[in-house]
Amino acid sequence: MDATIRPLRIPPEMAIYAEKHDIFHLVQTLVRNLMVDKPEDPIQHLINFLKRDSVVPRIILLGPPASGKRTIAKKLCEHTQTIHVTLSDILKDDSDLSRAAQQDQDKKQKIPKDHWRQLIQQRLSKLDCVRRGWVLEAIPKTQEEALCLQEAGITPDHVVMLEAPDVILIERSLGKRIDPVTGDVYHVTFMWPESEEVAQRLETPSTLMPADLIAKKLQKFHTEAHALKRTYHSCLKTINADQPHVDVFSQVLNYVCTPRQSASPFTPRILLFGPPGSGKSLQAKLIAQKYGIVNICCGVLLKALSADESHMGELIKPYLESEQQVPSSIVLRILTERLSRMDCTTRGWVLHGFPQDVEQAEELQESNFIPNRVFFLEMTDDIAIERVTLRGLDPVTGEWYHSIYKPAPGPDVQSRLRFNPRHSEAELQKRLKEYWNHAVDLQAIYPQAVYINADQDPHTVFESLESRLVGRLPKVQTY
């Protein structure tokens, strides 16, 4: 590499700010709202959107006939103060588009795809839906319609699909009753109104079909349901509707009040702590290999730098050759330069060997290199001594062996093993004492740290680490 060309450096505070304020999700939400609402004045529309206290719900409620969609949708809208949207209500709108679509329906003809999309867009772009959010009941019915909505930029935050056995759904259909005043749906067996006045005015739906036709409609729904599930798999929740409607509603409400996982790019910034022999280097290597992030061992970084002819390399070489500790200020300069490079900024990093005390940890944070995952690998001193003091290096092959866990394959190899003086029990006791002197204070600096039992098989330890690495916790929100 040409020494005159400096690696591209990205200020760490940029990534931290973007992550802290979820900038990616914010921009994604703003663009989506513009595409759906298509306002006359985009800038003012975005300003008004940003002034709102919270994000409005965008919910799709699907399910077979008689699964209770109407009842759940109405209760959901009452609770969340959102707008209940059905195709039949849209067709009642006094517009040329609605009247043309209604004529198609009256003639038993399918509404043209473009007209259907415009109808939905037109309704969802009205001020009530924009300000309060919406619940689409039984829209879309097919994957074609779902893809049509996606092309129009209409993407829900939550999709709920109700399910129940066909036998139950047919029984519900045959016993369905409608309140002509409110439009509420009741059932002669499963959900009879408490009010005698309401009970007396209930009517049998004019659209009530015989059992064989209901079965055909159910079969048609099942044919499309699989494709709809695939289309909305990232935000879909399937709920058993064969239970009291109060329980069904509770589960639906709980789901729609749970924010979706953020799709924002997540750049891991990982710190590994642990006593000598806890396996920090191995775990960092496994994490880096699987997730493509940059593995930075402070000691290895310093040795590599001292081997080149740079000014910084020449500066730290005397310390390493005399086995003295490199001053923290110099180590921090080297680390911050490395962590600022493009690979660390875009792919993330796993750092071990630094910081070793509270002062170094504070200096790292003041430099805006703030980890979003911190792990302490834990084990007793006896186990650490057993792991470290009994391992030796074969100078011929470069392979490490251990008297208990990985014995040398033969006496020839055993006889040529070299043992690092730093791995003697006396030296290790000093290093362990130094680690524990600072461990409690470091743990206080990182209260969100995760503690992993390192006295296990390395792959078991890795699985424990990995389970806490992947995914991001959603932000809390309420409707």
Write out pLDDT tens, residues 164-185: 999 999 888 887 888 888 888 8
Model confidence band, residue 265 (pLDDT cutoffs 50, 70, 90): low
pLDDT given at position 478: 40
| Across 302-316, average pLDDT | 87
Find the angle CA(373)-CA(329)-CA(353) to the nearest 5 degrees: 40
Distance CA 445, CA 270 (A): 15
Tell me, what DSSP letter sits at residue 191? Answer: B
| Across 94-120, average pLDDT | 87
Model confidence band, residue 406 (pLDDT cutoffs 50, 70, 90): confident
| 206-216 per-position pLDDT tens digit | 777 788 888 99
| Across 458-468, average pLDDT | 89
Model confidence band, residue 260 (pLDDT cutoffs 50, 70, 90): low
| Across 66-71, average pLDDT | 91
pLDDT given at position 261: 61
- The closest alpha carbon to 6, from 369, 300, 310, belongs to 310
Model confidence band, residue 424 (pLDDT cutoffs 50, 70, 90): confident
Cβ neighbour number for residue 361 with a 10 Å cutoff: 22
Model pTM greater than 0.95?
no
| Across 389-416, average pLDDT | 86
| Across 248-262, average pLDDT | 83
- Residue 473 or residue 44, greater confidence: 44
Cβ neighbour number for residue 360 with a 10 Å cutoff: 19
> What is the rounded average pLDDT for all residues in the chain?
86
pLDDT given at position 230: 93
pLDDT given at position 189: 72
Residue carrying the six token digits 């008297």: 403
Find the angle CA(202)-CA(206)-CA(208) to the nearest 5 degrees: 95
Give the bridge partners for 239, in sequence order: 162
Distance CA 370, CA 267 (A): 12
Residue carrying the six token digits 């796993």: 350
Q: Is the model's pLDDT at 477 over the cut of 80?
A: no
Residues 201 and 180: beta-carbon distance below 8 Å = yes
pLDDT given at position 471: 54
**pLDDT above 70 coverage of the chain, percent:** 93
pLDDT given at position 62: 97
